Chains A and B, each alone.
Chain A
Amino acid sequence: MNSPILLQPDETFILNVGPQHPATHGVLRVKMEMNGEYIVNAETVIGYIHRMHEKMGELKTYPQFLMNLSRMDYLGALGYSHGHVLLVEKASGIVVPERAEYIRAIMVELNRIASHLFWFGAFVMDLGGFSPLMYALQDREHILDMLEAVTGSRLTYCYFRFGGLYNDVDDDFITAARQFIPRMRKSMKKYHKLVTGNIIFRKRLEGIAPLSKEMCRKYGASSAVARGSGINFDVRKNEPYSVYPEFDFDVPVYHECDSLARYMVRMDEIEQSLRIVEQGLDKLPGGPIMPDKKPKLIKPPVGDYYQAVETARGSFGIRLVSDGGKNPYRLKLRSPTYSNMHLFDEACRGMMIMDALAFMGSLDLVIPEIDR
C-alpha cells in the first residue's frame, strides 16, 4: 500500500493550483512550491487557451478582425475594440463623428462598470463570501440588458466600426441609462456597507501582498494594480484619447499598496465611470454615427502605429505595422493582465496560500485576455 504523503519539516512539496481550480477563474496554472501553508516559490504557467489572435490579425482584413478583440477579454470587451478602432482610424486618417465618440465612451464606461461588478463579486467569492456575487450580477444584468438592446450582444460585442458605430442609441437606452445611474449609486452604498466595512474582509486584505511602485514599473503593471500602489496612471488621463478630455472625472489612487487598496481603486472607479456616463448622456451631441466620407477598403499607409487605451483591466496597447495592404503586416496586442499577472510569481513568495489567492483575486484576471 502506498503511504500517505509524509513531509519532513523543511521539505517542500509542489502544489499545482490549476489549470482547473476554483480560484483561478479559468484555465491558469500556478505551480507552487509549498512549505506547509507557505509558498516558497511560484511559477505561473499560462497559455492553456492561447488562440493566436495576433496571427489571426495578420490573416484577416481590418474589418474582419473587429470581432476578435471582444474574444480576448470577455468581461470588458468594448474597451479592447475601442483601442483597435482608434488605432486603425488614426492610421488611415478616418474622422469619427462626435456623436459616435460620445456613444463609444458611454458604452465603454458601462462595460467597465459591468466588468468591475463581476470582478467584485468573484473577488469576494474568492474570500469566501458568496452573496455579493449575486447582488453584483443583478446590477450587471441591467447593464447587459442596455448594451444588448443597442449592440445586439451581451458579452462579445462587435459594436464599433471604423469611423463610427454599428447602431445608434435610442431614447429607450438613454432613459434606461439615466435610471441606472442612481440605482447603481445606491447599490454601491450597499456594497460598501456589506463588504468594505466587514471586519473579516478588511483583515484579510489589509497589508496583504504589498507591491512597491518600483515593482509595478519593472513589470509594467497598470490599472488598479498600479493605482493601488500610489501610481497615478490612467491612460484616459495620461494619454487622453477619444472624448475623455471632455469629461470631468478623477483617477482614484491609493498609497497603501495592499490588496485592499486595489479593491478600493476598482470600487471608486465604478463611481467615476458612472460620472462619465452621466456627463456623456448630458453632453451627447446629435448628428450621424458614421462619417460621410470613408474609404471603401481600409488600407492604412505604410508605417508603424501604436494606440493605448485604458480598459477595465488596465492599459491595453495595440501596435500595427502596416505594409499598405488590406491585411495588417503585424498586429501586436499588449494585454494589461499579462503584465499584471507576471508580478504574481515574485510577489507571492513567502505568502500563505490563502493570502496569495486573495492577492490573485485582487489582480482581476481574465485568462483569455492573458493568453490571447
Chain B
Amino acid sequence: MRLTLLNVIVAVVLAIAFAALNAAYLVWAERRGAARIQRRPGPNINGPFGLLQPPLDGIKLMAKQLTIPGGADKIMFITAPVLAMFPAIMSFVTIPFSDTIVAKNMSVGVLMIFAFASMGSMSLLFAGWSSRNKYSMMSSVRAVSQAVAYEIPMLITTITVVMIAGSTDLMEIVHQQSRSILHWNIFPLLGNSHNLLMPFSFLIFFICTLAETNRAPFDLGEAESELVAGFHTEYGSMGFGLFFMGEYANIVIGSCMTTILFLGGWSCPFGLFPGVWWFILKLYLLIATFIWIRWTFPRTTIYGLLNLSWKILIPLSLFNLLFTAGLIKVF
C-alpha cells in the first residue's frame, strides 16, 4: 500500500470516526450492560434497543450552554476537555487493526501511543485545577498520582513485550504472534520466548489499563460518592461530553493495546482466517470485561490503589522484566 496524502487524510478521518463512534456507542453498551447486570431494561425507548440514545444524548449536550465558573482559569478550563479527547484520537492513527487497516504504521508505534496516553492525565490535572472547586482539585491530585503510579508498571510490562519482539513496531509485534495461540505473548509456549510469567504480565497490564483509564474499581478521580463528580464537577454541555467520550476512547485504546501486545492482534488462535474480525472480537471482549468489572466491584481507596502499584505491581513487573531478559540471553 502506497501512502499518499489522500490516503493519510482518509485514514485519519476514519480513525476519528471510529474513535467517536466507539465512544458514543460504548456509552450505550455500558448502559445496556449495566442494566442487564442490574436486572433492569436500560435505555430502550429511542430507536431499536435504544440505539438512537447516543446521538440524541450528543444533541442534548451540544444544545446546552457551557458555563465557566467565575473563579476558573478560562484557558485551562477550556483546554482540558479537548486534551482529554485529542490524544485518544491521535493514538488510533497508529493502531493496526489488521495487515492492511492501519492509518499510519510507525516503527515507534508503542512509544507514540504511550506518549499520547500520558497526556491524558494532563487533561485531568488541568480540569481539576482550573475549576476552582475543592472537590475537583482533590480529584486531580488523585488522578495525577494515580497516573504516575500506574504508568510505571504499564511501561515496564510493555518493555518486556518489546524486548521479546525486538521491535517497537506494533505491526511487527503482532506478526511475531500470528502463528497460533501458543505464540501469543499472553502464554508464549512457542515463539521467541518461553516465559511462563507472561500471564502475570498480562494481568498487570490489564489492571494498569483499568487504572489509567480511570475505570472502576480505580475510578478515584471521579469517585462520585466522595468527590461529587471529581475533576468534571464544574463541566456541563459538551465539555462534560468530551470527558465522557475521552474516557471511552481511552478504554478502546487500552483494549487495542492489550490485544496487540498480548493477544496476538488480528491473528486467529488457530492460525485460520486472520483478519480484522479477530481483532474486533478480542477488542470487544476486553471492553465487555471492563464493563463487567465496573458494575461488579466497589471502589478501592486511594492508598490501597497506590500501595497496589508501588508495592506489588512495580516489583512484580520489574522482576518479570529481568527474568525475561535472562531468558532471552540464555536461549
Contacts and interface: CB of A to CB of B under 8 A. Distances in A.
Direct contact of A and B (CB under 8 A): yes
Interface of A: 1-2, 4-5, 13, 15, 21-23, 36-37, 124-131, 134-135, 138, 194-195, 198, 200-201, 203-204, 352-355, 357
Contacts of A37: 138, 142, 302
Given A4-B129, A130-B38, A23 B298 contact: no
Contacts, number: 91
Contacts of A1: 73-74
B44 interface: no
Contacts of A131: 34, 37-38, 295-296
Given A21-B228, A22-B224, A138 B39 contact: yes
Given A22-B225, A128-B219, A204 B301 contact: yes
Nearest to A126: B225
B134 A13 contact: yes
A128 B137 CA distance: 20
Contact of A4 (B40, B132, B296, B297): B132
Contacts of A200: 217, 297-300, 304
Given A131-B37, A354-B223, A198 B297 contact: yes
Interface of B: 34, 37-40, 71, 73-74, 129-130, 132, 134-135, 137-138, 141-142, 216-217, 219-220, 223-226, 228, 295-304
Contacts of A36: 141
Contacts of B298: 124, 127-129, 195, 198, 200-201, 204
Contact of B303 (A21, A194, A352): A352
B226 A23 contact: yes
Contacts of A198: 297-298
Contact of B300 (A125, A195, A204, A353): A204
A138 B157 CA distance: 43
Contacts of B302: 37, 352, 354
A130 B39 CA distance: 12
A125 B225 contact: yes
B217 A128 contact: yes
Given A127-B298, A204-B304, A134 B38 contact: yes
Given A21-B228, A126-B225, A4 B300 contact: no
A130 B132 contact: no
A325 to B, nearest CB: 48
Contact of A129 (B40, B74, B223, B297): B297
Contact of B132 (A5, A21, A128): A5
Contacts of A2: 71, 73, 132
Contacts of B129: 4
Nearest to B74: A1
Contacts of B304: 200, 203-204
Contacts of B74: 1
Contacts of B132: 2, 4-5
Given A22-B228, A352-B301, 4 more contacts: A36-B141, A134-B40, A204-B298, A204-B304
Which 6 A-B pairs give the minimum distances between C-beta atoms?
Answer: A128-B299, A129-B298, A134-B38, A127-B298, A2-B71, A128-B298
Contacts of A129: 296-299
A202 to B, nearest CB: 10
A231 B225 CA distance: 30
B130 A354 contact: no
Contacts of B228: 21-22
10 contacts: A21-B228, A22-B228, A37-B142, A128-B219, A128-B298, A128-B299, A129-B296, A194-B296, A200-B217, A352-B302
Contacts of B39: 134-135, 138
A141 to B, nearest CB: 11
Given A125-B225, A130-B38, A134-B40, A4 B130 contact: yes
Contact of B216 (A15, A128, A204, A353): A128
Contacts of B303: 352
B215 to A, nearest CB: 11
A5 B302 CA distance: 21
B85 to A, nearest CB: 23
Nearest to B76: A4
A130 B73 contact: no
Q: Which of B132, B137, B301 has the most CB of A within 10 A?
A: B301
A4 B127 CA distance: 11
Given A22-B225, A131-B38, A354-B226, A5 B299 contact: no
A1 to B, nearest CB: 7
A4 B137 contact: yes
A352 B301 CA distance: 9
Contacts of B295: 130-131
A138 B134 CA distance: 36
Given A128-B298, A200-B217, A204-B300, A353 B226 contact: yes
A127 B301 CA distance: 9
A355 B301 contact: yes
Contacts of B142: 37
B296 A127 contact: no
Contacts of B297: 128-129, 198, 200
Contacts of A124: 298
A13 B132 CA distance: 13
Contacts of B216: 128
A21 B135 CA distance: 11
Contacts of B135: 15
Given A4-B130, A4-B137, A15-B134, A354 B224 contact: no
A190 to B, nearest CB: 12
B274 to A, nearest CB: 37
B296 A357 contact: no
Q: Which of A127, A131, A201, A354 has the most CB of B within 10 A?
A: A354
A27 B71 CA distance: 26
A120 B303 CA distance: 24
Contacts of A130: 34, 38, 295
